[in-house]
Amino acid sequence: MEINGISQFKTSEDGVSQDLVNFINSAEIPFIMSNVQERITPESAWGALQQHYEQLNRNGELQLNYLLRDDPHRAQVMSLATGQLYLDYSKNRLTTVTIDLLILLAQECGLQEKIHTMFAGGIINQSEHRAALHTALRLPIGDSIYLDKINLLPQIQQNLMQMRLLSEKIREGRMVGCTGQVIKNIINIGIGGSDLGPLMAFEALRFYSDRGLCFRFVSNIDSSDFIEAVRDLDPAECLFIVCSKSFTTPETLSNAHLARTWCMEKMHHHEMITKHFIAVSENEHGVAEFGIDISTMFILWDWVGGRYSIDSAVGLSTMIAIGSENFHDLLCGMHDMDQHFLNTPLFENMPAILGLIAIWNNNFLMASSVAVLPYSHYLQRFPAYLQQLTMESNGKHVDVNGKMITVPTCPIYWGQPGTNGQHSFYQLLHQGTPVVATDFIGFCQPLHDHMAQHDILMAQHDILMANCFAQTEALAFGRTLDELVRSGIAPELAIQQVCTGNRMSNTILADTLSPASLGQLIALYEHSVFTQGAIWNINSFDQWGVELGKKAAKKIASFLIQKDQIRPDEIEQYDCSTQALMLHYRHRRDV
């Protein structure tokens, strides 16, 4: 049996062999040997939460109209503030006892020990035997963090300095291509964490970006992505950032080669690659093989996961867009949230509380999805970014010890900005049957408040935020049949208009959307994800689930690409559906 890459073991009756126990005990971090189902006992915190839920539910005490009207201090008690962020979690279907029991659960799972282990560089990515030290990337100058007896800060600061020199050169118009033309188009080629973070950060901080530069993001192996991204660009003015930690990701390498061909067609110059391509990677060999000078390469370390890498050289396009000072503010915002997460007692710890409420919604109220609803046009890519952060981290079914987890783990994260979503999927949120937990995000001050139409713009922001608050209220209270009939609506129509309400939401507010507040928001969710992973006892930092599809695609591609007829003995290894799809495709492809 293979557990997390640990080879053959005879499992004893408790499912974990003595050899494995010895292995785990010899590991650098104190494993919390118990796993979720072993904690689901009446006397455990999980068992207590289960009984608590059943009791509240039986007594009708989970009704938000009751909870919110019964205690006028509820919002004050169930809100937290740190840095620029304010979290109102009072519109969740829970009581203060729920929070106490969730904190007890966190303590039982060793959350605080796990937090300290992560920040200290413990090997918490067990299956890849790596630390997860994205928090080191935003440590202030002069701080130190040791991994294998080496202080990481000097190399981190060196990388940031290298990023700053390049971004200043480009922003000051001092970078020219092989034809002598000034570089003004920055195209990031990457996918997953090498795209979602940079794209989200660029869109979120567009207000702070240099409008004289053009930024594009290419990720899909569908060549339309690249073609449309560069259609209106002059290659002589383009700089391609090939962003790939492994430098083996097929989509990224394919697009990098497409970009190189595109440039070569337009610029026959021996310095073309040197002047128009840079790499962000940990794979020097792969970068050199592509033809990029590794002395210009920006290093990525193996202790930074892709979905946790916006604060690394993966954020190079962001730094070029907003400048090194603003990028520094982004890192400071992340660091502030780190310190809060590391040093604040759980009952006042924003990421811990957000993560524990997510556990309550997912595992006790059975909300199988979370809608992230930013009331900010600039945060339009934030839900997509969170999808990888949450679901690639915690979309797993075995725990760190390789034991099957018998309770639901990561819910489905999705979302779109408000108010657009109100004209799309809010119907389901208000009257649908699925239980959807919601995270509303908004800002108290608009960024565009210096325009001529001052009054109109400010009013628009007020209307935007009115919608945000109104939606959380409507989800909580709904509209009863009695209210509708009393308002004069015919009963047969009123029944169609009933909104059950009692639908949970969190609301996160920041003063304004800035590099610092975005940094706090990103780190808030990074650590909420960590909190949830700690409760399920999951390794939130590997992603073995993506390998199977990658391998299968490689094999099928070899059939679809080949020009001669696919031999029956070759295709018969596939199921009838996949065979039919491949043959239909081949037939229609060649017509």
Residues known to be catalytic: 392, 423, 550
Does residue 396 bind ligand F6P (CB under 6 A)? no
Q: Is 307 in the site for ligand F6P (CB under 6 A)?
A: yes
> Taking the complex as a whole, how short is the minimal distance between the CB of residue 546 and ligand F6P, in angstroms?
4
CB atoms within 10 A of CB 215: 20
Q: Is 395 in the site for ligand F6P (CB under 6 A)?
A: no
Cα 374 to the center of its chain, rounded Å: 14
Task: Candidates 83, 110, 177, 193: give the one binding ligand F6P (CB under 6 A).
Answer: 193
Q: Distance between CA 256 and CA 298 in Å, rounded?
A: 16
Structure tokens belonging to residue 139: 């440590």
Interacting positions 161-180 with ligand F6P (CB under 6 A): none
* Residue closest to 62 by CA, chosen among 356, 363, 364: 364
313 CB-side CA count, 13 A: 28
User: CB of 543: closest distance to ligand F6P in angstroms?
Assistant: 5
CB of 282 to ligand F6P, least distance (A): 8
- For residue 117, is the peptide bond before it cis, meaning its omega torsion is within 30 degrees of 0? no
Output the 3-class SS for 137-190: HHCCCCCCCEECCEECHHHHHHHHHHHHHHHHHHHCCCCECCCCCECCEEEEEC
- Quote the least distance from Cβ 246 to ligand F6P, whole Å: 3
Residue 590 beta carbon to ligand F6P: minimum distance, rounded to whole angstroms: 32
Of 163-171, 187-195, 261-269, 411-419, the window that binds ligand F6P (rule: CB under 6 A) is: 187-195
Does 252 interact with ligand F6P (rule: CB under 6 A)?
A: yes
The helix/strand/coil state of 125 is: strand
Could you say whether residue 416 binds ligand F6P (CB under 6 A)?
A: no
Cβ proximity to ligand F6P: between 307 and 461 the closer is: 307
Nearer to ligand F6P, 167 or 387 (CB): 387
From candidates 39, 93, 184, 245, binder to ligand F6P by CB under 6 A: 245
Determine if 306 is a binding residue for ligand F6P (CB under 6 A): yes
Cβ–Cβ < 8 Å for 170, 199: no
Size of the site for ligand F6P (CB under 6 A): 14
For 50, how many CA atoms within 13 A lie in the half-sphere containing its CB? 12
Interface pick for ligand F6P out of 162, 181, 246, 512 (rule CB under 6 A): 246
The distance of closest approach from Cβ of residue 135 to ligand F6P in the complex, given in angstroms and rounded to an integer, is 18
Beginning with the edge strand found earlier in the chain, give each strand of the sheet holding 79-82 in spatial order.
79-82, 85-88, 505-510, 436-443, 369-374, 412-414
Q: Does 249 bind ligand F6P (CB under 6 A)?
A: yes
Per-residue tokens: 553:
């695609």
Residue numbers of the site for ligand F6P (CB under 6 A)?
A: 191-194, 244-246, 249, 252, 306-307, 392, 543, 546
